[in-house]
Homo-oligomer: A and B are copies of this chain.
């Protein structure tokens, strides 16, 4: 059987070479205190933490290319890292080696208003993109829940979904071009300022969602849309989560209207986020909430859309329904939704954040099965997520009375049952958070060995020494 050849360590000589490439002040080496910040992402607990041997913070594609050539020659693992806001261990250096942080590559290079495109470096904070586009009447449709901290490079690496994917789709739809640095240190342009392009295979789309295993993104060309001039939200309260979710697949087929967002939150999720934010909303005691957003070029159209959808929902068992049509109220509700994950992250380290995705019409069945399984084991599983996309974020939370040992032994059993059901319903392991290190061992329950072999063939072709973000998604051999 083929085996990974041994990696080399980052010697003082290598650290010097890195300093020669990127500048001494941008290399961290033999400095555990400062290296620690690059050893983890947002997965709670210490299990998925791994210290890098060195961190380098380059400023240009050329510097990254030199780093990759060095690392490839010396067989040292390199892990790209953005904001460290991931939820799959994707940017954690599980094999040690070098972390290349793109935090200094944070420039918006161009806003091309005529073509409705922009070019950015990977370290731009996602939220900044829309902040600076406002004055041009344009917007970028990506809306990950961590938008206030995450980097656009990470959004592209994970193919982030988020809150507006029902109408606008996920990150991949908006990435038209990339400048990449390959694992062997070549700088290559993919795609361009083109809304259509079949000049060769679509390597842009192969790179999107490749979780930093196939190349660095050093420039990203994003497609923009006209900024919707009007927006409103509907908040529907339901007695049970099942009632809320049963309605979801019917909304679009029943009305012909595609909302911008269809989010759901169960009672526990809303409560956790409200506690975390010190926020009170009068309706936090219902069984479950649906949050629907509508946007469009004018308020008449938005009103027409939400009224029709509102009527439809009223006919199908909603308890109460509220309209939020001013930015302050809208932002208050969305802030609750965006902070559920964060709220749970600090509650307990005995938890597992799931990112299941099923065919949208199966979401109610999936949640019922999930509650059934977790109930059987006596653990809590608050659920929230992107109902319109069939994307469920469940938090499996270990009871306080359990020992660490019991939690570690029981969790895989629970996950196996949940994943088996997910696959049975035609679902997959991750909708938007990625496989990374955390979910790798569960891949075989969802995809065939033949599929994994195709991934391997591509990875081995592009990264023959397996130095780029090794240990993620699948085994190299």
Contacts and interface: CB of A to CB of B under 8 A. Distances in A.
20 contacts: A117-B359, A137-B256, A165-B195, A169-B173, A182-B454, A186-B450, A192-B427, A197-B431, A198-B431, A198-B432, A199-B443, A200-B452, A200-B473, A200-B474, A202-B209, A203-B206, A226-B255, A228-B256, A301-B301, A458-B461
A447 interface: yes
Contact count band on A: 35 or more
Contacts of A192: 359, 426-428
A199 B446 contact: yes
A448 B200 CA distance: 11
Given A182-B454, A197-B428, A226-B258, 14 more contacts: A115-B249, A115-B359, A115-B361, A116-B253, A138-B253, A186-B450, A192-B427, A195-B360, A196-B391, A197-B430, A201-B206, A206-B206, A226-B252, A226-B255
A205 interface: yes
A413 interface: no
Contact of A206 (B113, B205, B304): B205
A254 to B, nearest CB: 9
Contacts of A209: 198, 201-202
B297 A256 contact: yes
A441 interface: no
A49 interface: no
A424 B205 CA distance: 24
A198 to B, nearest CB: 5
In the A-B complex, the 7 residue pairs with the smallest Cβ-Cβ separation, listed nearest first, are A457-B461, A205-B205, A114-B361, A193-B359, A226-B256, A196-B431, A199-B428
Contact of A115 (B115, B190, B360, B432): B360
A389 interface: yes
A211 B333 CA distance: 46
A236 to B, nearest CB: 20
Nearest to A308: B297
A439 to B, nearest CB: 8
Contacts of A383: none
A195 B426 CA distance: 12
A159 interface: yes
A172 interface: yes
A434 interface: yes
A147 B448 CA distance: 34
Contacts of A197: 357, 428, 430-431
A228 B252 CA distance: 12
Nearest to A136: B253
Interface string A3-32: 000000000000000000000000000000
A158 interface: yes
Contacts of A227: 256
A386 B450 CA distance: 39
Interface string A42-64: 00000000000000000000000
Interface in A201-234: 201-203, 205-206, 208-211, 214, 225-229
Contact of A252 (B116, B258, B358, B460): B116
Given A359-B117, A390-B194, A448-B189, A199 B435 contact: yes
Contacts of A451: 188-190, 200, 203
Contacts of A391: 196
Contacts of A153: none
Contact of A198 (B138, B159, B258, B360): B159
A158 to B, nearest CB: 6
Interface string A385-397: 0100111000000
Nearest to A228: B256
A414 interface: no
A42 to B, nearest CB: 16
B194 A431 contact: yes
Contacts of A190: 451
A141 interface: no
